Amino acid sequence: MHRFYLPPEACRNAPLRLDGCEAHHALQVLRLKPGAPVTVLDGAGQEYRCVVAHVAKDSLTLTVSERITTAPLTGSITLLVAIPKGKIIEDIIQKAVELGAQRIVPLLTERVVTQLDAEGAESKQAKWQTVAIEAIKQCGAAWLPKVETPQTITEFLKRGEAFDLALVGSLQTERRHPGDWLSTFQAQHGRPPQTAAVWIGPEGDFTRPELQVIEAAGVKPITLGPLTLRVETAAIYCLSFLNYELQRQPAQRTY
């Protein structure tokens, strides 16, 4: 079953229509013909099982045979990650989608090599959001995570967002296993956290002043074991842990 993405506003009226890049992939790569079954994801919990009804030069018309609604995941996870060199951030975004992150915030820190002006940041955000779209098509996720515009630690913290549990991977401070912080929260509140954030630093870690600012905002320092992990490995480690702990109950699906 081939999967395609259409934003929610494009799915309001039947029949559905694929054009642009999605139509190019369907027509020129997959060579879909009338009668072929396809799935359309809107990234907002709706999955449409469709059949190709009509094929034009640069578009396809789809007849919806079934609509499936998937509730949001039981735990909301935000990944804040320093932008690594090259295209590694694209791999991180892909894995974050697969591991249930609701949002990815690329960070510009003191030890990040990439430097972006406002225009460059917007361009990167659009490109990385496309990576997330391709990831939900690959793994079948009903909800599309938001990839935010790259920003500094201070810019994010100024927003004053609150999380039930916020963690930061650290090599420099007194640290605890993430499971310890989770157990402490559950003991205090009688429930698992409903919102969580995890901060992952760049190669060489956050600077000491950066960690002080992050921890002053209530973020708990964690250890990721005795080895020094690459940025992408640390992100996968933390997301895997949080995904398992916060999302033990599968999301409900209605037809």
Q: Cα-atom radius of gyration of the chain, to the nearest Å?
A: 20
pLDDT at residue 113 in the model: 81
| Tokens at 155, concatenated | 């810019």
Task: Quickly tell me which residue has 């949001």 as its tokens.
Answer: 72
Contact call for residues 166 and 196 (beta carbons, < 8 A): yes
Domains along the chain with CATH numbers = 2-70 (2.40.240.20), 76-250 (3.40.1280.10)
pTM: 0.92
Q: How far is CA 33 from the centre of its chain?
A: 33
pLDDT at residue 13 in the model: 87
Residues in the chain predicted with pLDDT less than 50, given as ranges, are none
pLDDT at residue 254 in the model: 72
| Tokens at 85, concatenated | 């060199």
| Tokens at 1, concatenated | 């079953």
Model confidence pLDDT, tens digit, residues 86-120: 899 999 999 999 999 999 999 999 999 887 877 88
What 8-state DSSP symbol labels residue 114? -
pLDDT at residue 121 in the model: 87
